[in-house]
Amino acid sequence: MPNVGLPNVAGIWVYLSGSPLFALTLTLCAYQIGLLAHERFGRHPLANPVAIAVLIVAATISAIQMPYSKYFEGAQFVHFLLGTATVSLAVPVYHGLSALRGRVLALAAALAAGAVTSVVSAVVIAHLLGADRFISGGLYAKSLTTPIAMGVAERIGASPTLTAVYALITGLLGAVLGRYVLDLVGCRVWWQRGFVIGIAAHGIGTSRAFAVHPEAGAYASLAMGLHGICAAVLLPWIVGSV
């Protein structure tokens, strides 16, 4: 005997999977799962909530065969807030301005060295491995926070989408492995660790720095902001003259 009162589950699923609300809900739930796992494992760097969320979302949309363009129709609402969240990092920087006294020259030198290294090392390695200009072009802005990186990519004729992928991977690797690299080289001071992470791993690394220590987070956001401003101004000019 047919179940007349039962809803058409398959029809509901087809509707939900095609709705922007599904992508938004999936994104938020995946990140919440990542946060819970991060806390469950004692905030271990390998249990990075962003990395976990990326894996969950990628596995889910692959399993249901949802095109990325369809997924982004819903996820773009979170993407829209990315720029606002980046600007809000100026608040801890403002509160920590008094701590910059006597450190300006050291920070400027670190910023210059880190910015140059992040570009030159990636692009040169890509060329040595035989990558074409399309692939290597996206690497110029890989260490910038995503909204700025995509804007720089457009100005230098690179793919904003590919640049965003590189930026995401760079941020995740910096947030996960940065602690071990800094321990290996003997960098123990919080403001130094934070500034390095902010240059190398932009917003994702800065989020990790805030989770570890407020001073590290403040300096990471300072480094990320300064790196983004300098690169947005200088990279298009440098790439255009090469």
Nearest to 173 by CA among 194, 207, 200, 135: 200
Say if residue 135 is in the same domain as residue 209: yes
pLDDT at 182 > cutoff 90: yes
Return d(Cα 219, Cα 92) in angstroms, integer: 9
Mean pLDDT in residue range 47-61 = 89
Q: Which domain holds residue 129?
A: 90-242
Cβ count within 10 A of residue 21: 13
Say if residue 94 is in the same domain as residue 209: yes
57 confidence band (pLDDT: 50, 70, 90): very high
pLDDT at 13 > cutoff 50: no
Say if residue 99 is in the same domain as residue 39: no
Say if residue 67 is in the same domain as residue 95: no
7 confidence band (pLDDT: 50, 70, 90): low
Say if residue 196 is in the same domain as residue 103: yes
Listed as own residue / partner, the contacts of 194-197 with beta carbons closer than 8 Å and 24 or more positions apart are: 194/218, 194/219, 194/220, 194/223, 195/107, 195/110, 195/111, 195/219, 195/220, 195/222, 195/223, 196/110, 196/114, 196/223, 197/223
Q: Chain-wide mean pLDDT for the chain?
A: 84
79 confidence band (pLDDT: 50, 70, 90): confident
68 confidence band (pLDDT: 50, 70, 90): confident
pLDDT of residue 38: 85
Say if residue 48 is in the same domain as residue 153: no
12 confidence band (pLDDT: 50, 70, 90): very low
Say if residue 17 is in the same domain as residue 110: no
Say if residue 60 is in the same domain as residue 104: no
Return d(Cα 223, Cα 105) in angstroms, integer: 13
195 confidence band (pLDDT: 50, 70, 90): very high
Residue matched to tokens 């807030």: 81
Say if residue 154 is in the same domain as residue 140: yes
pLDDT at 190 > cutoff 90: yes
- The reported pTM is 0.76
Residue with the larger pLDDT of the pair 47 and 18: 47
Tell me if residue 14 falls in helix, strand or coil. helix
Total structural domains in the chain?
Answer: 2
